[in-house]
Amino acid sequence: MNEETIFSNIGTKERGITIKSPREIDAMRKAGEVVAKTLQLLTESVRPGMKTAELDEIAYKEILRLGAKPSFKGYLGFPRTICVSINEEIVHGIPGNRVLNDGDIVSIDIGAIVNGFHGDHAVTIGVGNIPSDKSDLIKATKEALSRGIAAATDGARTGDIGWAVQSYSEEMGYSVVREYVGHGIGKSLHEEPQVPNYGTPGSGTLLKKGMVIAIEPMLNIGSWETTLLDDNWTVVTSDGSLSAHFEHTLLITEGEAEVLTKL
């Protein structure tokens, strides 16, 4: 399900860009800490031979233990707590009986709610020993996120973020997924503005102090084109090439953005 479909289900009142109050930012910091701690536990738990459903169960228990609620479970009908996407899967993979194998790369996307506000975070990691092409893709995607975060300053525009991600990624020889994008976040998991991972400097929505957004580059080794599988959630690369995904939730400030999903 792409972001346009998700946005169409949010409703008019929640589509507007909001400047968060100190109380709301505090809740989002707490939500960010929950997802960061849970994702750290998940990355430490990943091993060859485990089922993706096991990761989902770990995440569900940890989010509840930390006093939060899962953002994804039940969201627009999504059946699980986290998204687990393997190799050619880009985003929104549904945990189940699939077994992780040595040499796979796995993207884990997680959200949590504290006092009515969301945090959203994703990483891609290797399972066991992975070849250099996979580790290089992971490193480049993580760096692309860092470039996007550095561009997210008060007075900049979403196109500046997109260009920072796109220019670096394409220079490194990777394609940037265009059909799925970053987003505003707050009381709703997906709010305005949309934050594409491509763009033109100086274009797009103006960023202002107090806005909270999620930046999430998705890089492919092959084409940027995508295909939605029959489960109506899992998105894969159309050419079967490898994909990686990283995401942080961040607060726009007068200086550098504050990453809310970082321990």
Tens digit of each residue's pLDDT (9 = 90 or more) over 130-157: 999 999 999 999 999 999 999 999 999 9
**Count of the separate structural domains present in the chain:** 1
pLDDT of residue 173: 98
Q: Torsion angle of alpha carbons 88, 93, 95, 98, nearest 10°? A: -20
Q: Is residue 247 a contact partner of residue 91, using CB atoms and an 8 Å limit?
A: no
Q: What is the torsion angle, in degrees rounded to the nearest 10, for the CA atoms of residue 94, residue 248, residue 14 and residue 111?
A: 40
| Mean pLDDT, residues 208-234 taken together | 98
Check pLDDT > 90 for residue 192: yes
Q: What is the CATH number of the domain that holds 124?
A: 3.90.230.10
pLDDT score at 3: 42
Global pTM value: 0.94
Sign of CA pseudo-dihedral 241, 249, 75, 57: positive
| DSSP structural state of residue 29 | H
pLDDT higher than threshold 60 for residue 205: yes
Can you say how many angstroms the Cα of residue 142 is from the centroid of all Cα atoms in its chain?
11
Owner of token pair 């969301």: 118
Q: Which domain holds residue 42?
A: 3-259
Cα–Cα–Cα angle for 181, 161, 35, rounded to 5 degrees: 60
pLDDT tens profile 90-106: 999 999 999 999 999 99
Taken in order 152, 112, 115, 12, is the CA torsion positive or negative? positive
Residue 6: what pLDDT? 39
Task: Give residues with Cβ within 8 angstroms of 25, minimum separation 6.
Answer: 210, 212, 251
Cis peptide before 193 (omega within 30 of 0): yes
